[in-house]
Structure 1
Amino acid sequence: MRTIDDRIVHELNTTIPTASFVGKVDPGQTCKELYESLMDAHTNRERIIKNCISQTSAVVKTLKEEREKAHEDAALLKQLRKEQTKLKLMQSELNVEEVVNDRSWKVFNERCRIHYKPPKSQ
């Protein structure tokens, strides 16, 4: 899911020309396309993670309600703990996502700031 972020430096090195090759490639268009790819990837990953968090939260809520009714059910408690752990991992994944996104935008801005100005939404 993070292929574009993992390869951003390589992508920029191979697509944004040095001064001697600037006439053969349109760096503005290349940076615009990379910007749009990054935006799409970041938006989609965040949406997917938040969707997983929402679904897991619903499962945890259901298991908690069942636990209220059956205090002695060890299997239910084990399942609840498992789902709570999964929920915490997903929530921490949002923090990881923020770090990855920040790194990618920093590299993008360093290399593309003279070739492309993103819209004000970023």
Structure 2
Amino acid sequence: MHFKFTLFLTVFGLTSLANAVEFVQIGNKSYYFETKEYRNWYDAAQSCHQINADLISFETYLEWHYINFYLWTNNIDDIYWTSGTDLAEQGKHRWFETGNPIDLEIWYPGEPNNMGGDEHCDEIGSKR
């Protein structure tokens, strides 16, 4: 599957390469929303690392809410990769970038569900 991706970068982590893309300040963090390129999870993560950023890992429910509110109010209508995955241990989703277990109740009921036996990377967003 190929989705667009959200890059996560703390303000103090900006590099000259990162300055070449437009980051959005939401709360006390900066984010980049790729709206043109579709990539698989691995390619999206690699693209993030090339500009000293990471796929998003939600630390709090409030952070997740702010990101979703931003997407909704700016009519950014798509699906985006997060750093969530169960690649290390089937059925145990963790934030890849931090290694922390995903313990926030942010998914729809029954998600993540490994549909078709090959969904191991987590995404946010939706098509309206």
Q: TM-score band (shorter)?
A: under 0.3
Larger helix fraction of residues: 1
| Higher radius of gyration, 1 or 2 | 1
Higher relative contact order (CA 8 A, sep 6+): 1
Identify the structure with the greater strand proportion.
2
> What is the TM-score with the length of structure 2 in the denominator?
0.26
TM (normalized to structure 1)? 0.26
